[in-house]
Amino acid sequence: MTKGRKYSKEWENTYPRLSYSVEEDAAYCAYCLVFGDGHGDGMFGMIGFRDWKNASSDKRGSLKIHENSKLHSAAKEKADNFIMVSNESKPDICSSLSKAYANKEVRNRQILLAIKDVIVSLKQRNIALRGNWDKELKRKTSQCPHYLSPKVQNELIYCCEIEIREKIVNDCKLADVYSVCADDTTDVSVKEQLSLCIRFVDRIKSEVREEFMGFVELTKTDAENID
Ligand SMILES: [Zn+2]
């Protein structure tokens, strides 16, 4: 006990989180003891406060100074959050992160679908993916992945190709007969390529369809290799 003073139970009326340890003859702040960072104002957190003489003066009282300190406010905020999560009046961090992740997933999917639509529209009109078509998308998606690198664009084109080809093949399977049209040609890089088309009657649309299926690079142009 310091200079005849002792802990006063009345202090708890003003500072309800103050607790007294009889065994240690020391006062602790419940907020700082449980939610403090273990450093800083350790007198009320880890060490225990015993300076009774300077505890409660109006201007320089340690209790008041501690109550207004940043460390106490931070610990109090953590404690309040913990109580709100325990009462289920506030979502826990896992739910918050999960919701944030779900929102991000929805946004990224929207971006991806917008880019897919642009790519399909350009390809339908035989327009190359170059120029300024992606500038606006880049501006709008500057804070998140914009999926506009050549690698991603090529992957998207490849995905579209697989989807479209599968749809054509499924339509063709419904026809009783079909024919394959093939012709070889040399491209500008002097590579021999075989262009492949299929021709069939679309039973649903009741019309003859001729669909381009793609190019196949040829290493040799003899009949055996083309087969
Ligand atoms: Zn405190």
Any idea where the domains of the chain sit in the sequence? 11-86, 91-173, 175-227
pLDDT digits (tens, 9 = 90+) for 58-95: 777 888 888 888 888 988 999 988 888 888 777 777 77
Position 168 scores a pLDDT of 92
pLDDT digits (tens, 9 = 90+) for 166-196: 999 999 999 888 999 988 888 777 788 888 9
Output the CA 92–ligand 1 centroid distance in Å.
23
Confidence band for 41, pLDDT divided at 50, 70 and 90: low
How long is the chain? Answer: 227
Position 1 scores a pLDDT of 44
Output the CA 17–ligand 1 centroid distance in Å.
8
Distances (CA, A) of 121 to 3, 32, 127, 157: 87, 61, 9, 12
User: Which tokens belong to 46?
Assistant: 């880890």
Output the CA 1–ligand 1 centroid distance in Å.
22
Amino acid in position 11 = W
Phi, psi dihedral angles at 50 (to 5 degrees): -135, 0
Output the CA 57–ligand 1 centroid distance in Å.
18
Phi, psi dihedral angles at 183 (to 5 degrees): -150, 140
Amino acid in position 82 = F
Q: Whole-structure pTM over 0.75, yes or no?
A: no
| Residue 218 · residue 193 · CB < 8 Å | yes
